[in-house]
Amino acid sequence: MLNQLLKKLIRTGSGRTRFILAIVGLSVALLLILSAVQLQSNYNDLLHSKTNQDSIANFLVINKAVTDKTVGATSLTDAEITDLKRQPFVDEMGVLTPSRFKVAAQSISDKIPFYSDIFFESVPDEFIDVKSDDWKWDEHSNFIPMIVPNQFLDMYNFGFATSQDLPQLTQELVKSLPIEIRIKDVIGRVTYYGKVVGFSDRISSVLVPQPFMDWANKEYGTTVSSKASRVVIRTKDPGNPELVGYLKDHGLTTDADKTRFSKYRQVVDTVVTISWFTGAVMLLFALLIFTLFIQLTVASCKEEINLLITLGTAPKQLQRFLMNQFFPPNILIVALTLIVLAVLQLLLKYFLEAQHIYISSFIAASTFVAAVFILAVLWLVNAMTIKKYIAATA
Amino acid sequence: MQIDLKNIVPIPLKDKFSKRGSDIWNRELSFSSGEWVKVKAPSGTGKTTFIHILYKLRGDYEGSVCWQRKELRQISGDELASLRQHKLSVVFQDLRLFPNLTARENIELKRVMQAPVCESVMIDEMAERLGITHILQQRAGLCSYGEQQRVAIVRSLMQPFDWLLMDEPFSHLDQDNISRAAALIEEECSKRKAGFLLTDLDEDAHFKYSRFLNL
């Protein structure tokens, strides 16, 4: 009831257009700032998540450089592995286990005939960039899942197939192709079926699940436990001079040029920075307009506020009333911005999914925290401005 | 609630007042709760100034005013508002209604400013008694002074109070209306066991005053 009377006395309607402009400005500012937070969060997700097929995080396969001196002695000692693991630039490290038995693969299909001696390697699952439900093995499994390097298929399709007049193969076709795996043991050959379940850009080797490797090495292993000669590490920045220096000092070398990822990173950083900066500046201006608007309202109702206070209206009552007039639009804006952002995130997810980049369908907790934080700042600025001008009028 | 005055003198009128005797200026005196005080003074001797000092509308005076032993200068903000909502009501000489609110809204405002102690129908009853029912829906700015004065009186009776300050509250009313308004005020003050302090130009017998003072 008091509020209805106050509404009649303190008209907040004057300068509506300015208020709406301020609201639009604030919405854009919020969208920019929260997008920046969300982008950063998505980017961090990509950097750290284990589920991305083409993760932006950097994995390096490291081995000793083969030179005249190291020929035949490229295995890594335990001390070398432990030392590498201790380095600050190494987030995680996995050892590539080589097969210790002879193995050959042969096509069952007549249309695509091939036979080749091959070798297997295995690595802990978190270093694998392929997601597949078939990537598991136990002694009762019908087939051995394999992950092969993309380059193999490229070499076949663009080199071998064209020169030998053989059909080119798609990834899907290769995945559906049954392959006979022959493992040589002491008395002869044992035959298994294998299936390619994915293609990897990360480790240039034919990968099999770790449990199969452990089992097969025990069962068919001919050479005595061979030491690991390759390890894979995860690092945040492959361009880190420390890392490069360490590898050089220890006679180690790595594959792949990873500059592609550095480029992604630069783009994301730039976008995030611009978004942040623009958003922050706009937020500042929106706050300024809000402050001016409150000042204007209080000034235009100076006489009414004066008399209200003379009659015993508490400054607290007036502050609460004005707060109720000015603040709720802010909550609405923040809520709307979050909804818009959630929709954008979902669209982005579908867009990136098509490119085998996986991000969350939902906006991040950090975005919510940022939204609540901005809301708190808005509340504080509103409350302080109202308090100041009421006190100045009274 | 007791009011203690200690040698108060309004600074702008200092020279003027120091030359002549007064029961209030530059004296020590106190009003105990429930007293009905009449302050008589000719024009220009500071009646309104006195009321405004007691109500803390001005602070340009020497000496001190204490409400319930608390120095009035130290009461401000929300505490002052609470005093004005629960302990102290006022009828200003210049009435001070919101011209854009209706008469009823002006009264209602004071009723709901704190937790209401009067029912809303009390507005109608009091308006009826003072003969202003017909202007309740009218904008206060359009009412005559006499009507506005009665609206201001009803408004002052809408809240709880220990003291009612009235600054020439009947200046625009005829005898008939004065006696009706006085009866209403007397009733409401008795009901609350409240005291009042009324300033006027002349002697009168509207109330059973317990104390007379010359300003």
Q: Domain boundaries in chain A?
A: 2-53+262-393, 58-235
A343 in contact with chain B, both atoms CB, cutoff 8 A: no
Mean pLDDT score, A177-189 = 84
Q: CB–CB of A2 and B110 under 8 A?
A: no
Query: Which segment of A46-60, A75-89, A303-317, B21-35 scores lowest on mean pLDDT?
Result: A46-60
What pLDDT is recorded for position A132? 80
What pLDDT is recorded for position A45? 77
Read off the pLDDT of residues B39-74 as tens digits, 9 standing for 90 and up. Answer: 998 888 889 999 999 999 999 999 999 998 899 999
Q: CB–CB of A317 and B109 under 8 A?
A: no
CA distance A319 to A296: 15
Query: Which segment of A207-216, B151-160, B174-183 scores lowest on mean pLDDT?
Result: A207-216
Alpha-helical (H) ranges within chain B are 14-18, 47-54, 77-86, 103-112, 121-130, 145-156, 175-192
Q: CB–CB of A311 and B108 under 8 A?
A: no
Q: Domain residues for B168?
A: 3-214
Write down the mean pLDDT value for chain A: 83
Residue A393 with chain B: CB contacts under 8 Å: none
Q: How far is CA A333 from the centre of its chain?
A: 28
A344 in contact with chain B, both atoms CB, cutoff 8 A: no
Q: CB–CB of B112 and A315 under 8 A?
A: no
Residue A313 with chain B: CB contacts under 8 Å: 81, 113
Read off the pLDDT of residues A70-98 as tens digits, 9 standing for 90 and up. Answer: 777 778 888 888 888 888 888 888 888 88
Q: Is residue B172 very low, low, confident or very high in pLDDT (cuts 50, 70, 90)?
A: very high
The number of beta carbons lying within 10 Å of the beta carbon of residue B166 is: 24
A308: left (phi over 0), alpha (psi -120 to 50) or beta: alpha
Give phi and psi for A154, each to the nearest 5.
Answer: -60, -45
Place of tokens 């009723």: B111
What pLDDT is recorded for position A53? 42
Q: Would you list the DSSP string of A306-324?
A: HHHHHTT--HHHHHHHHHH
What pLDDT is recorded for position A54? 46
Show the tokens assigned to A45.
């997700």
Mean pLDDT score, A380-394 = 89
Query: In percent, how much of chain A has pLDDT > 70?
Result: 91
Q: In this structure, what DSSP letter does residue B171 have?
A: T
Long-range contacts of A70-74 (CB under 8 A, 24+ apart): A70/A251, A74/A229
Show the tokens assigned to B75.
């009461």
Read off the pLDDT of residues B72-91 as tens digits, 9 standing for 90 and up. Answer: 999 988 999 999 999 999 99
The number of beta carbons lying within 10 Å of the beta carbon of residue A115 is: 10
A391 CB burial (10 A radius; 0-12, 13-18, 19+): exposed
Chain B residues with a Cβ under 8 Å from any Cβ in chain A: 57, 77-78, 81-85, 96, 98, 100-101, 105, 108-110, 112-114, 159
- Whether B67 and B87 have beta carbons less than 8 Å apart is answered as yes
Q: Is residue B108 very low, low, confident or very high in pLDDT (cuts 50, 70, 90)?
A: very high
The CATH number covering residue B79 comes to 3.40.50.300
Q: Is residue A57 very low, low, confident or very high in pLDDT (cuts 50, 70, 90)?
A: low
A314 in contact with chain B, both atoms CB, cutoff 8 A: yes
CA distance B206 to B197: 13
Q: CB–CB of B81 and A5 under 8 A?
A: no
Does the ipTM exceed 0.90?
yes
Query: Which segment of A227-231, A254-258, B102-106 scores lowest on mean pLDDT?
Result: A254-258
B98 pLDDT above the threshold of 60: yes
What pLDDT is recorded for position A342? 94
In 3D space, the residue among A58, A93, A129 whose CA is nearest the CA of residue A231 turns out to be: A93
Q: CB–CB of B113 and A316 under 8 A?
A: no
B149 pLDDT above the threshold of 90: yes
Q: CB–CB of B110 and A311 under 8 A?
A: yes
What pLDDT is recorded for position A226? 65
Q: Is residue A257 very low, low, confident or very high in pLDDT (cuts 50, 70, 90)?
A: low
Residue A10 with chain B: CB contacts under 8 Å: none
A9 in contact with chain B, both atoms CB, cutoff 8 A: yes
Considering only CB atoms, B77 lies closest to which of A2, A8, A315, namely: A315
- Structural domains counted in chain B: 1
Mean pLDDT score, B191-197 = 94
Q: CB–CB of B112 and A310 under 8 A?
A: no
What pLDDT is recorded for position B96? 95
Compare B159 and A16 and report the one with higher pLDDT. Answer: B159
